[in-house]
Each structure stands twice: as structure tokens, then as C-alpha cells.
């Protein structure tokens, strides 16, 4: 507070013996015949020089350079988006659990080094699924939230669901890892994936702690050259909590599933992209050795 109070305060010191003060006093005393005229104690501060119209510098208009576009790792998706998404974005990926949309996350890991936070399964099972999709897992660093929460140090599974103390500690553990990642990343381009973020929205903690956690994620995304993907499952949490995260997010992916009489159609919409014009098209996709996106306009 002391620093902010002193900012912008200019102190002008005027020595009593200065020639300027003596001159000002002499000019203000007309003669010895005015005995009651008060002596000036301070010199007048000279008026600042007024610039003419020709001397006033023209205001500089800031130049908007636009966001740095970073590819997602899915070629057809990047092409439909004009190259990718703005770097340092917090991306909320809301998906129907029946859509198998986690394969999008596996594809995202192919674009750059990825820190993969697991909350629903052990990392070894996710690794196996990535390899089964014929994808390269060599650039992935797993952060095993799942085992930290559901297992004892001896490997025994325990029930911590609803335990407010344990839930607050798992948030601290996750924040600690995010802090370390931020320190290690420096200027490196990275992905940070939460699979899934619904786990955190369902923790039995004070809403202020969850809001603080979301703010930390958002701030970390802006302080690093990263893409944050918060993968969530539709219908698993309170709508008010989700709206807070949706509002903070820079990008929103929305995956839904429709059923027709003879087949299932999975659809991807991207209604929000800060810094870019959102893509108004709804894309069909299917999962077969990665994500296969259909760019045709007919989605019926």
C-alpha cells in the first residue's frame, strides 16, 4: 500500500536561501511605506511552457496485431478454424459421455509437449488407449490425480468421495503441480489437459476454493505459451458452477450425440472463441484411429 500511495506524488523542494525566493520577495514588496504587507515565504512556481498547435505531438493509435494462432493437432479442425486457436487459451470441452470425445484429447497431445492430468482413470490405461489409436505418447507427461485421490500410499483403494478435507487437499496438490509446470515451461509451447474437469467441479469444497482454482488455471494459461483443455462430461454437476467456468473460458467446444433410426451422429460446435470469429458450422465426426471430421454442410 505504501508504494501505491507514493506513486505519482511529486515533491518540489525550495531552499530558503535560493535566489529565486529572494527575487520573488523583493518584487512583491513595493516600498517600506507599507508596514503591514506580509512577506512572501515561498516563491511562485513558474508556469509551464504552453505548446503551440504545431508543437503538440499527434496521438499514437495502438496497432492491434491479433492473437497468435496455434494448431490443435487435428488438421481438418485447424483448417476449418483458419489455422487453429489463439495461443494461451483456456478451452472448456463439454462432451456427451456417449460420444467418446476423449479421443480429441489424445489427438491434441500430438501437436506439442502435453501435461495430462488424469482424474477418472490410471495413466497406464489412458496411455494404452492412445497407442491403440495409433498415436505417439512420447510427448506426454502424466499428472496422476486419480491415484492420489483414490489410493493409499500402499496401493489400497479408498473412498474419499465427499470428504471435505481430502477434497481441499487434492486442489492444493493440483495447484502445486500447475505451479511447477509454469516454472518449468518458461517459453516452451505446451498443452495442459484435464481429463476430466468434472471431477473438480464435483468436489465437496467451499465454492470460493473452486473459483480460486479456476482463476489459477486461467492466470497460468495467460502466463505461459499453453493451451488448457478442461474436458467435462455433460450433466454431471451443478449448472451454476459450470456457468462460472464457461464465462471464464476463452474457447468452448460442445460435443453432442444424435440418434436416427439407423445410426448415431456425433457433432462438434465451437460457439465461443475470444480473439477470433467463432466457427458457426456444426461439424460431424466419428472415431476411427483418431478423430475423423466430416466437413460437409449436411448434418441431418
Q: What is the pLDDT of residue 6?
A: 41
Q: What is the pLDDT of residue 117?
A: 98
Contact 268, 254 (CB under 8 A): yes
Each of the 300 residues of the chain gets a pLDDT tens digit; together they read 444 434 433 333 334 444 444 444 454 444 444 444 444 444 454 555 555 666 666 666 666 567 899 999 999 999 999 999 999 999 999 999 999 999 999 999 999 999 999 999 999 999 999 999 999 999 999 999 999 999 998 989 998 888 999 999 999 999 999 999 999 988 899 999 999 999 999 999 999 999 999 999 999 999 999 999 999 999 887 888 999 999 999 999 999 999 877 888 899 999 999 988 887 889 999 888 788 888 776 544
Contact 118, 142 (CB under 8 A): yes
Contact 124, 137 (CB under 8 A): no
Cis peptide before 151 (omega within 30 of 0): no
Give dist(CA 195, CA 100) in Å, integer.
Answer: 12
Ramachandran angles phi, psi of 204, nearest 5°: -85, 75
Contact 252, 272 (CB under 8 A): yes
Phi-psi region at 14: left, alpha or beta (left = phi > 0; alpha = psi -120 to 50): beta
Q: What is the pLDDT of residue 67?
A: 85
Look-up of cell digits 471464464:
248
Q: What is the CA radius of gyration of the chain?
A: 31
Amino acid at each position: 500500500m505504501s508504494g501505491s500511495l507514493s506513486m505519482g506524488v511529486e515533491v518540489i523542494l525550495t531552499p530558503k536561501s535560493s535566489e529565486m525566493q529572494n527575487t520573488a520577495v523583493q518584487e512583491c514588496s513595493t516600498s517600506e511605506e507599507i508596514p503591514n504587507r506580509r512577506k512572501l515565504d515561498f516563491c511562485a512556481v513558474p508556469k509551464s511552457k504552453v505548446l503551440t498547435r504545431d508543437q503538440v505531438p499527434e496521438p499514437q493509435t495502438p496497432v492491434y496485431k491479433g492473437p497468435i494462432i496455434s494448431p490443435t493437432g487435428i488438421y481438418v479442425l485447424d483448417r476449418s478454424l483458419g489455422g487453429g486457436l489463439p495461443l494461451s487459451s483456456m478451452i472448456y470441452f463439454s462432451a456427451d459421455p456417449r460420444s467418446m470425445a476423449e479421443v480429441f484429447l489424445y489427438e491434441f497431445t500430438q501437436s506439442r509437449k502435453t501435461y495430462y492430468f488424469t482424474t477418472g482413470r490410471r495413466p497406464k490405461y489412458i496411455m494404452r488407449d492412445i497407442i491403440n489409436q495409433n498415436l505417439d505418447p512420447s510427448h506426454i507427461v502424466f499428472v496422476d490425480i486419480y491415484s492420489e485421490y483414490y489410493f493409499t500410499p500402499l496401493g489400497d483403494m479408498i473412498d474419499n468421495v465427499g470428504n471435505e478435507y481430502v477434497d481441499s487437499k487434492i486442489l492444493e496438490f493440483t495447484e502445486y503441480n500447475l505451479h511447477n509446470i509454469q516454472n518449468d515451461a518458461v517459453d516452451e509451447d505446451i498443452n495442459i489437459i484435464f481429463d476430466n474437469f468434472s471431477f473438480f467441479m464435483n468436489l465437496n469444497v467451499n465454492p470460493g476454493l473452486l473459483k480460486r482454482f479456476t482463476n489459477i488455471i486461467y492466470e497460468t494459461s495467460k502466463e505461459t505459451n499453453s493451451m488448457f483443455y478442461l474436458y467435462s462430461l455433460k450433466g454431471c454437476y451443478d449448472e451454476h458452477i459450470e456457468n462460472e467456468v464457461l464465462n471464464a473460458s476463452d474457447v468452448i467446444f460442445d460435443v453432442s450425440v444424435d440418434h436416427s433410426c439407423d445410426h448415431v451422429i456425433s457433432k462438434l460446435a465451437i460457439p465461443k472463441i475470444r480473439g477470433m470469429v467463432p466457427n458457426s458450422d456444426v461439424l460431424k465426426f466419428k472415431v476411427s484411429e483418431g478423430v475423423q471430421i466430416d466437413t460437409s454442410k449436411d448434418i441431418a
